[in-house]
Amino acid sequence: MIDSTKVLTIDEVRRVLADLKGRSCAWASRAEIVFRLAVCCGLRVTEISELLIGDVYVNAATSHIKVRSKLKKGAVRNVPLHYDRATYEALVGWILGRQVAGAKLSDPLLVTARSKPIHRCGLRRMFRAACDGLGAERLRSLTIHHGRHTCASWLLHVGAPPQAVQAMLGHASLATTTIYAHLMDQVPTEFKNVWNSQENTNG
């Protein structure tokens, strides 16, 4: 059983994103992408570390992230972006900036200020640093994997079909997906009705 402390509240997510937007620096932009990939897209930390620029399809009608999971014996899944416009736009801006700097589609999506790939430990530290404004008590048990719990909970609560959430997050069992259904009693207004209305048009 997953307890509700492993899910970020709407207020917490908005506070983190507002804080990162207010910093206006390269680190904050990078941290926002890490935070959004974990919380809004439900990616595992290993999956985030392995993403290439070419894995993010932001120009097609069916915008999505192509995720290759070593944890799942090389299985590939598509994580849709249609339900979260803010995350879509953040990724568009990030990729444009990387390409202007000379990055290729085969280059890592996330790199350090010295253009080195950011590995799992670095991503974990960045996520926690991004959440620093939530306070020491909250940070004590907060991990980047809580973003994945949050994503599953929010999507189920806005009416996304459990099978669609299972496919998006790459759960081996539908039972794993459905344990998140009870964890939230409210959802972001911008998420309401978006999944169902867009699912039919974007596949």
Strand 56-57 and strand 64-69: the pairing is antiparallel
Spatial distance between the Cα atoms of 5 and 177, rounded to a whole number of angstroms: 17
Spatial distance between the Cα atoms of 44 and 194, rounded to a whole number of angstroms: 24
Q: Using the 8-state DSSP alphabet, how is residue 108 labeled?
A: B
- Please pick, among 15, 125, 128, 145, the residue that the annotation labels catalytic: 145
- Please pick, among 70, 104, 116, 192, the residue that the annotation labels catalytic: 70
Known catalytic residue at 171: yes
CA 66 vs. chain centroid, Å, equals 13
Known catalytic residue at 145: yes
Known catalytic residue at 64: no
- Please pick, among 30, 36, 44, 82, the residue that the annotation labels catalytic: 44
Cβ–Cβ under 8 Å, residues 126 and 30: yes
The DSSP string of 141-156 is: T--THHHHHHHHHHHH
What Å distances lie between residue 151 and 44, 53, 159, 185, CA to CA? 11, 22, 13, 14
Spatial distance between the Cα atoms of 63 and 202, rounded to a whole number of angstroms: 8
- Please pick, among 30, 36, 148, 149, the residue that the annotation labels catalytic: 148
Known catalytic residue at 70: yes
Q: What are phi and psi of 68, to 5 degrees?
A: -105, 125
Known catalytic residue at 82: no
Any idea which residues carry the catalytic annotation?
Answer: 44, 70, 145, 148, 171, 180
